[in-house]
Amino acid sequence: MNLSEQIAEEVRELPEELKKEVLDFILFVERRHATGGARAAGSEPDWGKIRIDTKGWRFDRDEANAR
């Protein structure tokens, strides 16, 4: 019995609610490792396009360190 068959056998014996958890975990792992096309190209934000207007902001190192 190969690994896929072992996993399928174990899942078959689980209650329906736990099968949903297993599916959620599989989808999480796919997205995390970008397998099976789960993470589409461009799904990450393009941080270079983000602009923040910091005019008028005053940075005080002592005040920041006091927090």
**Residue 43, pLDDT score:** 64
Q: Is residue 57 part of a domain?
A: no
Q: Which domain holds residue 35?
A: 1-40
Sequence-ordered list of residues with C-beta below 8 angstroms from that of 36, at least 6 positions apart, any chain: 30
Instruction: Work out how many domains the chain is built from and give that number.
Output: 1
DSSP letter at 7? H
**Residue 38, pLDDT score:** 45
Q: Is residue 18 part of a domain?
A: yes
pLDDT tens digits, residue range 5-61? 999 999 999 999 999 999 999 998 888 887 555 445 556 767 788 888 888 888 888
- CA pair distance 33, 61, nearest whole angstrom: 39
Q: Is residue 52 part of a domain?
A: no
